[in-house]
Copies of this chain bind each other. A is one copy, B any other.
Amino acid sequence: MGSGTQGGHTDAVYDVIVLGAGPAGENVADRVRAAGLSCAIVESELVGGECSFWACMPSKALLRPAQALVDARRVSGAAQAVAASVDAAATLSRRNTFVEGWDDTGQADWVAGIGAELVRGHGRLDGPRRVTVARDGAAPLRLTARHAVVVATGSRAVVPKLPGVDAAGPWTSREATSAKRVPGRLAVVGGGVVGVEMATAWQALGAHVTLLVRGSGLLPQYEPFVGELVAASLADAGVDVRLGASAASVDRPAPEAPVTVTLDDGGAVVADEVLFATGRAPRTDDLGMDTVGLRPGTWLDVDESCRVAGVDDGWLYAVGDVNHRALLTHQAKYQARIAGSAIATRAAGGTADTAPWGAHAATADSAAVPQVVFTDPEVGAVGLSSRQAEEAGLRIRVVDYDLGAVAGASLYADGYRGRARMVVDEDRGLVVGVTFVGPGIGELVYSATVVVAGQVPIDRLWHAVPAYPTISEVWLRLLEAYRG
């Protein structure tokens, strides 16, 4: 971790400089430090990033109590003991615990613990291998990287530029996960993961939620039955789900006044808060990208080792949301492990193994990305949907099974409703995609991830026996249905 001046403009030299201390940045720092490289990690907000403070953790903390009660209410014998709905104050308090009161001391200590240098401030590229950090109340710090600079600055919520939207003070995912009290009425714009999870959470916490979805269904990236089951369940929970509803303008006449969302069909929804869950943009607009020949504000194209395309000498990497491969914390961490290891290998003069599934190729980003959506019912999927597989030109067979017909599922919840789909590449005899939707399926997704990423042949899966009576037995049913 040498410091001093090299040339006239360097205050410190590190083997690796990481921009952004979210999960992606933290993990790449961890990997390069484990390989003995020095590392600085630059962060302008909270160490731990979006996931720790304004996304995964607080959103799941808001959702879990509701899910636990829903699960208990669905089992006769337990249901009789549930006398009330979710305790909102206790849930918000528990959420605060998980985000440590939005204090990053613990995470900063973790960075120190791995021996990386935390630099607080706004980092910008300043030509090849150079980073300038603007700091509050201190002179800019000029850093140089011997081997690599890694962009791990993530993404931000995009709010559409509708008339009146800025003045209305809309929620994004940040406000939706960090709100201190429950709004009486909440309008949610967007039927993707953030929209449906936050509609689920706030409805359970006592808000009257209206979910406005431009398209014809929820969670459109998944198999069609997923959105149908989630929409039906949200409606059962009291959410006003409006499909084909596009917000045209927003009006909040005074700061404490209700907000009116006018739809393009002339209808209107009045609420106390409005959440826009309408997509993400890369945080590359103010990173000095132009100093290295890249265009600010764009997603960064990377190769399989997460090295940014079009940069001479291959010193620039991008991991996490910012490379647009898969906007999920766990894939960001995966890319960070892969890229960190590639950086260390190359720094030592070695050749990275970037063959598919090699140590330095983030192959899972294209073949086996898992996701769990913590709605009720839960949604879990990995790999290709049937539509994606068809679009990829694969000769596939699609096998469906009613999860409610599995003994373990019927034990889990009375009146269990759910469905599973397995997409098989017939030419290779491999499962390339799996989707589950139903209560209690969240931990089942990893089995599908191993099947898809591990490319376990169908014939061998016949020997992977699900314990009886678990929900996992759906695997046997899918395999039996496949064999006919």
Contact = CB atoms under 8 A, between A and B. Distances in A.
Contacts of A254: none
A380 B467 contact: yes
A315 to B, nearest CB: 25
A54 to B, nearest CB: 14
A334 to B, nearest CB: 5
Work out how many copies of this chain go into the complex. 2
A446 B447 contact: yes
A359 interface: yes
Interface majority SS on A: helix, strand, loop or mixed? helix
A118 B75 CA distance: 34
Contact of A69 (B74, B81, B329, B359): B81
Given A56-B468, A90-B80, A451 B450 contact: yes
Interface size class of A (residues with CB under 8 A): 35 or more
Contacts of A417: none
B445 A470 contact: yes
Interface in A74-99: 74-88, 90-91, 93-94, 98
Interface stretch (A12-20, A390-398, A458-466): A458-466
A370 B465 contact: yes
Nearest to A91: B77
Nearest to A436: B443
Contacts of A447: 443, 446-447, 449-450
Contact of A466 (B449, B462, B470, B471): B449
Interface string A131-146: 0000000000000000
Interface stretch (A168-176, A224-232, A236-244, A361-369): A361-369
Interface of A: 23, 51, 56-57, 60-61, 64-66, 68-69, 71-72, 74-88, 90-91, 93-94, 98, 328-331, 333-334, 337, 357, 359, 363-364, 368-372, 380, 407-408, 410-412, 414, 440-447, 449-451, 453-456, 459-473, 475-476
